[in-house]
Amino acid sequence: MKLFSFWRSLATYRVRIALNLKDIVPDEVVDINLLKGQQREATFRAVNPMMAIPALVDGEGPALFESLAIIEYLDEIHPSPPLLPPDARGRARARGLAQIVACDSHPLLVPRVREYLEHELKLDEQTRMAWCRHWITEALAAIESHLKTEKETGRYCHGDAVTVADICLVSQAAGAKFFQVDVAPFPTVNRIVDACQAIDAFARAHPLKQPGAPATG
């Protein structure tokens, strides 16, 4: 397997956690420097036309793309440990929580959007930071509401086993830290993120532990 990655990419962070949980070590990790715009270079555009990471090449055929699609693929080809609950309703809840992060929040903060805010809309840094914090906070509030009120919540987002919901929640928490969001109003989120971070597969995948990351957050 070949993983296209960048230390700061929250979507790649999710895939790294899934790989670690399943004890899969990619043969190669290719750095795509988002801060230098390498995702828009022709060679990478041929790998992923959306010009985004992660992308994962597994054997023949075009690269897999989109973090949640890659995670479900990994879960199907390496079923142990499972990253989805055993029942359809549980899977819907875990996927739904994951998608609050991956559909409703993170897409508003990715480099191409932040660049549009800066270069097309000419917004100053304070306004751009307020934008990022707003969408991170909205999603955290919705997730906190689910987690604190629904009986399916356990040690982790869904029961006492890690699922794709936890993987996404941990990436959301890292985004909250990058953008200095106040997470005090979300105690259930914080409890579950702490429980996940205590797991080696999560801890090793952290953006700040990847090659190229700055020494401090």
Going residue by residue from 30 to 59, which x/- string records binding to a copy of itself, judged by CB under 8 A? -------------------xxxx-----x-
Evaluate whether 163 touches 157 at the Cβ level (below 8 Å).
yes
Evaluate whether 201 touches 21 at the Cβ level (below 8 Å).
yes
Considering only 36, 40, 92, 217, the residue that binds a copy of itself (CB under 8 A) is 92
Burial class (CB in 10 A: 0-12, 13-18, 19+), 65: middle
Span of 22-30, 107-115, 153-161, 171-179 interacting with a copy of itself by CB under 8 A:
107-115
Selection from 159, 144, 140, 156 nearest residue 201 by Cα: 156
Q: Which ranges constitute the DSSP H helices of 42-124?
A: 42-47, 67-77, 88-99, 111-115
Using the rule CB under 8 A, is 203 a contact of a copy of itself?
no
The minimum distance between CB 155 and a copy of itself, in angstroms, equals 19
Using the rule CB under 8 A, is 62 a contact of a copy of itself?
yes
Selection from 56, 18, 31 nearest residue 204 by Cα: 18
* Residues that bind a copy of itself in the complex, under the rule CB under 8 A: 49-52, 58, 61-62, 64-66, 68-70, 72-73, 76-77, 88-89, 91-93, 95-96, 98-100, 102-104, 106-108, 112-113, 116, 120-121, 123, 127, 130-131, 134, 138-139, 141-143, 145-146, 150
